[in-house]
């Protein structure tokens, strides 16, 4: 809460002198008459100096210009009412207020798609959460780099190449549809045919060793796959700064292994390298034939990134089932002394169908993302067939993003297209509609709102509710940033949209006889538009111009 930072610092000083270092955090007040609350004193209610602390707090809060009124209850909950007049002047400065004091370089790793497999429903959350965190960190002033981190290496691709070789498929004329059919066939064969398995293992080793003949085939397949992935990403409005893959760090691995061994950090066990860090289960670094694993390339990827950029913090946006892998990765990065940078596994739950089972097609495959997009787009056409394609696309993506981000990322949720495209309720369409409504109102008014100042005395209940809703922006923004949880902002965007709709519905604004009332409402609508746009930016949603 940048605007109340002085207040917070002063209160923290009091605590520091009396009961020890403790940070003050504001929360939304339980009491609807107030905006924020401070709970730090509640647990001190039996402290021998509580009366002194209370009076120091009172004095400090009393002197804070942004606080209009406050109360300290008999159990020492502190409630604060913000002075709307002083705070409202700052609405248009919100972008400055949310900047952090110490910007960092943050890398977002999407734990990307594999070669040979189309983008499917399983990739949706990684894309949405990653994009949202990218925007949130950027708005907070960090410098952010996104890396799709393609799964372009290892056994899956070796299986595909082996399958193509064995079935004598013409690799020159292969297309994406062929490739997508080959992948499941190859992995099926790998599981049941030992001879095929040996051939694939051998091919994988050749890949690791940079065998030029197999690299040529690999390159061909990778290009086909990337082209298809880019088409889907384009439909869904996603872009990446880096298109690195696991293959890009292959050359760093032999040296890395050698160094770790000479440092006594890893040792051979049944021919495979395992970490000497005591851990259960043991951490496997390479396979017994010397070829590399998921963890091997992820470790080398970190080395590669640190070599190329100064990175303070890395976020891995990967589903929660891979928890053990990232636990092992982060443990290993520490144990191997790769640096003191931060690494976080931003885990998320799975998307299920309405019965709670993994979201699949009738054939039992994961549903393709591009098909999900098309179905959503079609559903929106049913609601309004007059929309141009551009608007339809934005709305379809709004639905796929908002419905995903409104749930806490760790929760598995049920995908229900009918529900998510509902025009009323907590949906993407609803928040877009409120935005369009506000814009239409201002455009129809022919009044220059930028020159209007609020007339506080003439604000009615619905105006005040919306203004006091907007005061919470910094709170929710921080919550999302600190915890890497975009859903707080999705929920908040709905709350503001709902408050706007209430105000709007309440009375006819443009025909209001009293000019100050009319101007107030137009000014508040202008604020709402900028807040709504900013929240959509945080979520990775583009506002539409008409609906």
Partner RNA sequence: GCUCUCGUAGCUCAAAUGGAUAGAGCAACAGACUUCUAAUCUGUAGGUUAUAGGUUCGAGUCCUAUCGAGAGCGCCA
Interacting positions 48-77 with RNA (CB under 7 A): 73, 75, 77
In whole angstroms, the minimum distance from the beta carbon of 533 to RNA comes to: 18
| Displacement of CA 522 from its chain's centroid (Å) | 33
Q: What is the DSSP string of 421-486?
A: T-SSSSSHHHHHHHHHHHHHHHHTT---GGG----GGG--HHHHHHHHHHTTHHHHHHHHHHHT-T
User: How far are the Cα atoms of 32, 87, 244, 472, 473 from residue 457, in angstroms, in the given order?
Assistant: 20, 15, 58, 22, 24
Contact status, residue 375 vs residue 124, Cβ threshold 8 Å: no
Give the residue with the Cβ less far from RNA, 26 or 84. Answer: 26
Residue from 497, 506, 504 nearest 531 by CA = 497
Residues 313-332 as x/- pattern, contact with RNA by CB under 7 A: -------xxxxxx-------
Interaction between residue 425 and RNA (CB under 7 A): yes
From 194, 270, 363, 389, residue interacting with RNA (rule: CB under 7 A): 270
Other C-beta atoms closer than 10 Å to the C-beta of 491 total 16
In whole angstroms, the minimum distance from the beta carbon of 160 to RNA comes to: 11
Interaction between residue 419 and RNA (CB under 7 A): yes
Give the residue with the Cβ less far from RNA, 66 or 160. Answer: 160
Decide: residue 427, CB within 10 A, 0-12 exposed, 13-18 middle, 19+ buried.
buried
Other C-beta atoms closer than 10 Å to the C-beta of 75 total 9
From 87, 137, 218, 292, residue interacting with RNA (rule: CB under 7 A): 292
Interaction between residue 31 and RNA (CB under 7 A): yes
Contact status, residue 312 vs residue 341, Cβ threshold 8 Å: yes
Give the residue with the Cβ less far from RNA, 110 or 137. Answer: 110
Contact status, residue 116 vs residue 225, Cβ threshold 8 Å: yes
Contacts to RNA from residues 360-389, by CB under 7 A: 383-384, 387
Contacts to RNA from residues 338-357, by CB under 7 A: 352, 356
CA count, 13 A, side-chain hemisphere, 66: 17
In whole angstroms, the minimum distance from the beta carbon of 326 to RNA comes to: 10
Contact region with RNA (CB under 7 A), list: 92-100, 221-229, 252-260, 413-421: 413-421
Interaction between residue 25 and RNA (CB under 7 A): yes
Q: Please count the residues of this chain forming the interface with RNA, following the rule CB under 7 A.
A: 96
From 114, 225, 232, 332, residue interacting with RNA (rule: CB under 7 A): 114
Interaction between residue 501 and RNA (CB under 7 A): yes
Residue from 171, 174, 249, 156 nearest 210 by CA = 249
Residues 164 and 200: their CA atoms lie apart, in Å, by: 11
Interaction between residue 437 and RNA (CB under 7 A): yes
Interaction between residue 507 and RNA (CB under 7 A): yes
Interaction between residue 407 and RNA (CB under 7 A): yes
Residues 20 and 320: their CA atoms lie apart, in Å, by: 38
From 16, 103, 271, 390, residue interacting with RNA (rule: CB under 7 A): 271
From 10, 39, 211, 484, residue interacting with RNA (rule: CB under 7 A): 39
Give the residue with the Cβ less far from RNA, 232 or 297. Answer: 297
From 56, 66, 79, 186, residue interacting with RNA (rule: CB under 7 A): 79
Within 8 A by CB and 6+ apart from 244, the residues are 147, 148, 149, 150, 301, 304
Contacts to RNA from residues 457-496, by CB under 7 A: 479, 482-483, 485, 487-488, 491, 494
Residue 347: left if φ>0, alpha if ψ -120 to 50, beta else—which one? beta
Interaction between residue 289 and RNA (CB under 7 A): yes
Interaction between residue 42 and RNA (CB under 7 A): yes
3-state secondary structure 129-171: HHHHHHHHHHHCCCEEEEECCEECCCHHHHHHHHHHHHCCCCH
From 99, 310, 410, 461, residue interacting with RNA (rule: CB under 7 A): 410
Give the residue with the Cβ less far from RNA, 172 or 194. Answer: 194
In whole angstroms, the minimum distance from the beta carbon of 518 to RNA comes to: 9
Structure tokens at 516: 């100050």
Adjacent-strand bridge partners of 80:
36, 70
Give the residue with the Cβ less far from RNA, 177 or 482. Answer: 482
From 7, 37, 133, 179, residue interacting with RNA (rule: CB under 7 A): 37
Residues 17 and 11: their CA atoms lie apart, in Å, by: 10
In whole angstroms, the minimum distance from the beta carbon of 151 to RNA comes to: 4
In whole angstroms, the minimum distance from the beta carbon of 1 to RNA comes to: 9
Contact status, residue 37 vs residue 26, Cβ threshold 8 Å: yes
Interaction between residue 294 and RNA (CB under 7 A): yes
Give the residue with the Cβ less far from RNA, 287 or 367. Answer: 287
Interaction between residue 293 and RNA (CB under 7 A): yes
Q: What is the CA radius of gyration of the chain?
A: 28
Interaction between residue 3 and RNA (CB under 7 A): no
């Amino acid at each position: 809460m940048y605007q109340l930072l002085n207040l917070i610092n002063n209160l923290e000083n009091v605590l520091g002198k009396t009961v020890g270092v403790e940070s003050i955090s504001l929360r939304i007040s339980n009491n609807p008459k107030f905006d924020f609350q401070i709970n730090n004193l509640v647990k001190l209610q039996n402290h021998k100096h509580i009366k002194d602390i209370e009076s120091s707090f009172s004095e400090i809060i009393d002197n804070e210009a942004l606080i209009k009124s406050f109360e300290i209850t008999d159990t020492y909950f502190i409630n604060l009412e913000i002075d709307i007049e002083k705070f409202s002047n700052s609405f248009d400065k919100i972008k400055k207020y949310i900047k952090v004091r110490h910007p960092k370089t943050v890398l977002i790793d999407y734990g990307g798609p594999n070669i040979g497999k189309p983008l499917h429903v399983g990739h949706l959350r990684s894309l949405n959460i990653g994009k949202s965190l990218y925007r949130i960190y950027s708005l907070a002033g960090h410098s952010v780099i996104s890396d799709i981190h393609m799964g372009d290496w290892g056994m899956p691709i070796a299986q595909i190449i082996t399958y193509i070789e064995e079935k004598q498929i013409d690799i020159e004329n292969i297309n994406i549809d062929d490739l997508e059919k080959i992948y499941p066939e190859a992995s099926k064969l790998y599981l049941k045919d030992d001879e095929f398995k040996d051939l694939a293992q051998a091919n994988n080793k050749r890949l690791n060793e940079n065998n030029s003949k197999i690299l040529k085939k690999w390159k061909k397949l990778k290009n086909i796959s990337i082209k298809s992935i880019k088409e889907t990403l384009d439909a869904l409005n996603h872009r990446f700064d880096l298109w690195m893959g696991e293959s890009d760090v292959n050359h760093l691995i032999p040296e890395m292994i050698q160094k770790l061994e000479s440092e006594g950090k890893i040792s051979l066990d049944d021919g495979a390298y395992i970490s000497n860090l005591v851990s259960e289960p043991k951490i496997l670094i390479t396979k017994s034939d010397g070829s590399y694993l998921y963890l091997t390339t992820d470790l080398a990827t970190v080395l590669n990134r640190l070599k190329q950029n100064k990175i303070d913090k890395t976020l891995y946006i990967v589903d929660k089932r891979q928890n053990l892998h990232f636990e092992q990765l982060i443990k290993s990065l520490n144990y191997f002394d790769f640096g003191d940078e931060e690494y976080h596994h931003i885990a998320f739950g799975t998307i299920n169908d309405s019965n709670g089972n993994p979201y699949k097609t009738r054939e039992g495959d994961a549903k393709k993302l591009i098909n999900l997009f098309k179905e959503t787009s079609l559903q929106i056409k049913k609601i309004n067939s007059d929309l141009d394609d551009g608007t339809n696309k934005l709305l379809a993506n709004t639905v796929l993003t908002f419905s995903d981000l409104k749930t806490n990322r760790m929760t598995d949720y049920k995908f229900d297209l009918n529900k998510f495209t509902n025009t009323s309720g907590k949906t993407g369409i609803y928040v877009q509609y409120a935005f369009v409504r506000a814009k239409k109102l201002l455009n129809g008014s022919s009044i220059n709102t930028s020159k209007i100042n609020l007339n506080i005395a003439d604000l009615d209940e619905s105006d005040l509710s919306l203004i006091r809703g907007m005061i919470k922006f910094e709170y929710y923004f921080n919550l999302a940033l600190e915890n890497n949880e975009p859903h707080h902002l999705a929920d908040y965007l709905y709350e503001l949209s709902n408050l706007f709709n209430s105000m709007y519905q309440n009375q006819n604004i443009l025909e209001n006889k009293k000019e100050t009332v009319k101007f107030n409402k137009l000014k508040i609508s202008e604020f709402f538009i900028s807040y709504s746009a900013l929240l959509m930016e945080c979520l990775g949603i583009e506002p539409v111009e008409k609906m």
